[in-house]
Structure 1
Amino acid sequence: MSIKVAVASSDGKYINQHFGMASQFLIFELDDDGTHKFLELRENKPACSTEGHSELSMEESVKLISDCQAVLAGQIGPGAIDILLKNNIDPYIAPTFIEDALKELAGIIQTKKNN
């Protein structure tokens, strides 16, 4: 079984964006064995800025990735975590290389299934 994962990355290699400030999400299909493939890039209007954040924009960001079961970001605030969980999207903070984070996420998902 595979899942869709949204990744907050500006360079396609490293998870380097805060969820609320992400200008784009890379969408991957992740299989149980850790193999994955890139599906698409989705442009996003960041919900947060140096002046604060907008709940409406946060909802729009979540809606943009609503077909994903997980999101990987460099940081995720508590408000965003609440909104993601309410929309059945598991949030993971993983400021590391995309390849490594996807393999680790596959292991987490496999462990959850086995318990």
Structure 2
Amino acid sequence: MIYKIAAASSDGKVINQHFGRTEEFHIIKADSSDRTYWYQETRKTAPACKQQEHDDRELRTVADLLGDCDYVLVSRIGEGARSALAENGTWAFELPGLIEDSVQRLLSYIEVQNLFKKEERDERA
């Protein structure tokens, strides 16, 4: 299955940005069947957090910008931003590090989750 992932990165190599302070998200598509991924585009945004405060409208704007993504990978994220993303069906994970490594860790997580779902379906059958 192919997933769309937004990575909060200042350089396109490392997930190193707090969700609310990110100025651009690197959009990646990843195929869980062969564990490959590729860069699709970069989306620029105005940071929703300034100093220690955030603007709920700005959080919603960023969440909507990423609404077509299945996952968002960040170094940090607050509950308000996590909730705004979840309302769009986008799941956020704190997975700082090289984008390549973080994407592989996410794909491993998805694989395990799918195994649990399969076991649950088998038990009900």
Query: Is residue 5 of structure 1 aligned with residue 5 of structure 2?
Result: yes
> When the two structures are aligned, how many residues end up with a matched partner?
115
Question: How far 1:104 sits from its partner (Å)?
Answer: 0.6
1 or 2, which has the higher helix percentage? Answer: 2
**Which residue does the alignment assign to 2:121?**
none
- 1:29 counterpart SS class: strand
Q: What's the counterpart of residue 100 of structure 1?
A: 101
Shift of residue 45 of structure 1?
0.9
* Partners of 1:12 and 1:108 in 2: CA distance: 22
Matched, 1:70 2:71: yes
Structure 1 residues 27-66: aligned runs within 5 Å: 27-32=27-32, 33-50=34-51, 52-66=53-67
Taking the aligned partners of 1:34 and 1:47, their CA distance within structure 2 comes to: 32
- Please give the TM-score of this superposition, normalised by the length of structure 1: 0.96
Distance 1:28 1:6 in 2: 6
Give the superposition deviation at 1:34. Answer: 2.0
Q: Secondary structure at the match of 1:60?
A: helix
Paired residue secondary structure (1:7): strand
Shift of 1:78: 1.1
Question: 1:87 offset after TM fit, Å?
Answer: 1.4
TM-score, normalisation: structure 2: 0.89
Q: Provide, for residues 55-114 of structure 1, a one-character-per-residue CA deviation record: whole Å limited to 9, x for no partner.
A: 000000001111000000010011111111121111100111100000010111111111
Identity in percent: 37
Greater Rg over alpha carbons, structure: 2
- Distance in 2, matches of 1:79 and 1:70, equals 16
